[in-house]
Copies of this chain bind each other. A is one copy, B any other.
Amino acid sequence: MTAGTPFELPAKCDTCVVRHKSICAVLSEDELKDFNRIARHRRVPTGQVIAADSEIVFANILDGVVKLTKTLADGRQQIVGLQFPPDFLGRIYAKESPYFAEAATDVELCAFPKDGFEGMLRRYPGLEHRLFENTLDELDSAREWMLLLGRKTARERVASLLMMIARRAPNVGCSHTPDNNFAKFTLPLTRADLADYLGLTLETVSRQITNLKKADIIELIDNREIIVPNLDALEDVAGN
């Protein structure tokens, strides 16, 4: 749980898996060289902190899933964002990050030092525009989730989350491709994490997963591996 000293490697942009999907997509080859000079790869094992409260880390996610959390004084916790590759990580234009970033699975990052990155931001306006678009999308997602947290039942919440993961998980290594109406994927989160994302307890999440299984909406290979034979049926349960 405590921050270790993850090893770092120089970035190799020419073979990068997210070269054309991450924020780097807006950079020319020349600009990318500039970027390449300051970028460092970094591995963060499951459960480790990427950026503690206040500290700010800028990075592209190459692999794995990152959770952003907020916590009340008495320990009640809420996940306020889940990030998958090729998402960008880090609260720019702030002295302190208003939340906590933690590796939900083993994570591979391409990290940028704060100063260097902010210099880039000034030099390449296309980059800022791209980050702006990202932020607008994140805001839309956050508000979508507010509807879930404020108004959906436990059953609807769990179904909604499975839908969301079925949609995004293809970008995470080990999972299968969802085609039209079938999906198979590995949950990147424990039951406790699911609960923290859904505003429920882990027992309630477990019960709802059992219910969806009994209703033949999903099948479980093991606790983490899930098959959705009919995404439309799951979508129906999710509400909206």
Query: Interface residues, chain A, CB within 8 Å of chain B?
Result: 68, 70, 72-74, 76-78, 80-81, 91-94, 98-99, 125, 128-129, 131-133, 135-136, 138-140, 142-147, 149-152, 196, 198-199, 239-240
Determine the residue in chain B with the shortest Cβ distance to A81. Answer: B143
Contacting residues, chain B, for A131 (C-beta < 8 A): 132
* Cβ-defined partner of A78 (8 Å) among B77, B135, B151: B151
Contacting residues, chain B, for A77 (C-beta < 8 A): 151
Contacting residues, chain B, for A91 (C-beta < 8 A): 136, 140
CB–CB B147/A70 < 8 A:
yes
Which of A77, A91, A146: most chain B Cβ within 10 A? A146
Which of A70, A74, A92, A198: most chain B Cβ within 10 A? A70
Q: What is the distance, in angstroms, from A203's C-beta to the closest C-beta of chain B?
A: 16
Give Cα distance in the complex from A91 to B132, angstroms: 12
Given the interface pairs A98-B143, A139-B139, the reply to whether A150 lies near B78 with Cβ below 8 Å is yes
Give Cα distance in the complex from A131 to B129, angstroms: 11
